[in-house]
Structure 1
Amino acid sequence: MKQRPSDGLSPAKNGQLSYSHLAVTIGTLLTEGASVQYGFHFDALRCTGCEDCVEACCAQHGIPRSLSFRSVESYEGGTWEESEDGATTTMLFTYFLSLSCNECSAPLCVAVCPTGALRKDARTGLVSLDESVCSGCGNCVEECPYGAPKINPDDGRAMKCDACNGSMSSAVSGVGPLVVPSCVEACSEHALEFGDIVRLRALYGSVASVPPLPPVEVAHPNLVLTMAPAMLDSLRWEGGREGLLERRL
């Protein structure tokens, strides 16, 4: 049986994502896993939507806001009910989500990359991009359910978050220190945390999807969410119920 490359996943042939390829990709990652899988924790109770994390990301990588690897988005909605006497009762909710690459355990971007530019490191679980071999096909941009990869308009190649750790493997092997991503350092409310996903889940639970994020089964993100009450409201009323006011991401 052909072995999986030690440094990550093999790319899809010709950029085509077949169901069999994706099944093997997911099965291999979930059973073998990484030596250490890094991920993010986001605390919606603390986030004020200030976007300091976005500014820090842009400053760290020297990129404009349009190419920022992290974004802060709002999700708003609600319902109303009218009683027999004509009185209307409303229930509205809104909350922020701070999102970047979720270092998925079954990254769709890796599965559709025709050149092998995108790979998942078996030692750290981080999804890295080698821009020098990127063809600029845009498959990763189309497939990522979190909008992590971007196309650089200057050279037409993809670019993405590396958790500010281009050499994270050195931290795992004990050669170098663990670098805290700039977005995490910049958050004055401590709404973001980066680390071993096993530890983060032990501390904060395993919730990784709220509207409008896709179900975790899509790519198995290494993300942990601390829920705000508004998120519980959105889960209660999500699903196309009559009266949904607005969805925005």
Structure 2
Amino acid sequence: MTEQTQYGFYVDTSKCTGCKACHVSCKDRKDLPVGVNWRRVYEYGGGQWATNADGSFEQNVYSYYASIGCNHCNEPVCVKACPTGAMHKRREDGLVHVATELCIGCNSCAKACPYDAPQLDPDRKVMTKCDGCFERLAEGKKPSCVDSCPLRAIDFDTMENLIAKYGDGDGHIAPLPPESITSPNLIIKANKHGQPAAGGQGEILNFAEV
């Protein structure tokens, strides 16, 4: 039996500068409405300043960025939560898509997903999400978020190719949830300040943007 092809993302958080070129190119590709963000760039930071007895200062302040979209998980909880079968995982490439003709806009998938990937289109009243730029893949191209990144901090390919190129990565870091929830197809290279997933000492600093 032939092993199923599975596409996924690689994100190097040691390179990401938070420029949001990936975010903008993704919105532009599908002309997404305000409030619908298939790819989001999280700024995560923490630490504090302290005054020493001699009047000098010490600090351990840090921040880093993480570009996150849909991870086309092996165990997609959005698919399990969908009551109509609209949310589904494609056999040919492992990408998670929405059959909009079946979608009732109930938001069950969005509530289940720990990555905030499914997003409701307020005008059409259907769920939308990152589709892996499947039509670009068919043309031999990378997703728009990958091609737009000036630091080449994002890559997209079959998981077999990504692992051969980058290894298994460093595991999830904050503000991401533990990988055990959905078995995501996402390889992370951790920033040197990376905090433990779901247990970091910092906080998301740009809630208004994500």
**Structure 1 residue 34 displacement after superposition:** 5.9
Moved more, 144-153 or 55-64: 55-64
Give, in whole Å, the separation in 2 of the partners of 1:34 and 1:116.
24
**Counterpart in 1 of 2:112?**
143
Which residue of the other structure, out of 218, 226, 244, is the alignment partner of 2:181? 218
Q: Could you tell me how far 1:77 is from its partner in structure 2? A: 1.1
The one-character-per-residue Cα deviations of 1:101-130 (angstroms, maximum 9, x if unpaired) are 000010000000000001111221110111
Q: Give the counterpart of 1:195 among 132, 154, 157.
A: 157
Amino acid at match of 2:180: E
Determine which of 75, 79, 99 is the counterpart of 1:106: 75
Query: Equivalent of 1:162, from 128, 131, 145?
Result: 131
Kindly report the root-mean-square deviation, in angstroms, between the aligned alpha carbons of the 2 structures.
2.7
Aligned 8 A contact 1:58 1:65 in 2: no
CA deviations over 1:44-87 (Å, ceiling 9, x no partner): 12211111111111111011352121111100112567878897
Whole-angstrom CA distance in 2 between matches of 1:81 and 1:210: 26
1:209-248 deviation line (CA, Å, top 9, x unaligned):
10111111010110011122121xx249x847xxx56444
> Given residue 50 of structure 1, which amino acid in structure 2 is its aligned partner?
C
Unmatched 5+ stretches in structure 2: none
What is the distance in 1 between the residues matched to 2:85 and 2:141? 25
Unaligned runs of 5+ in 1: 1-31, 169-175
The structure-2 alpha-carbon separation of the partners of 1:239 and 1:80, relative to structure 1 and needing over 3 Å to count, comes to farther
Distance change >3 Å, CA 121–CA 167, structure 1 → 2: farther
- 2:79–2:88 CA contact under 8 A, matched in 1: yes
The offset of 1:167, in angstroms, is 8.7
The residue aligned with 2:93 is 124
Pair 1:152–1:53, CA change in 2 (3 A):
same
> How big is the shift at 1:184?
0.8
* Aligned residues between the structures: 205
Distance 2:167 2:47 in 1: 26
Residue 90 (str. 1) matches residue 59 (str. 2): yes
Q: State whether structure 2 residue 52 is matched by structure 1 residue 77.
A: no
1:217/1:81 CA distance change after superposition, 3 Å: farther
Amino acid in structure 2 at the alignment position of 1:220: S
Indicate the structure (1 or 2) with the bigger Cα radius of gyration.
Answer: 1
Structure 2 length as normaliser, TM-score? 0.86
- Quote the Cα distance in structure 1 between the aligned partners of 2:171 and 2:113: 16
Q: Which residue identity lines up with residue 175 of structure 2 in the other structure? A: P
CA contact (8 A) 2:87 2:99 kept: yes
Separation of aligned partners in 1, 2:29 and 2:13 = 24
1:229 aligns with 2:187: no
Q: From the superposition, tell whether residues 92 and 112 of structure 1 become closer, same or farther in structure 2 (CA, over 3 Å).
A: same
Distance between the aligned counterparts of 2:99 and 2:115, measured in 1?
20
What letter matches 1:69 in structure 2? W
Q: Identity over aligned residues, as a percent? A: 36
Is 1:57 matched with 2:26?
A: yes
Whole-angstrom distance in 2 between the partners of 1:34 and 1:143:
28
- Which residue of 145, 148, 169 maps to 1:183? 145
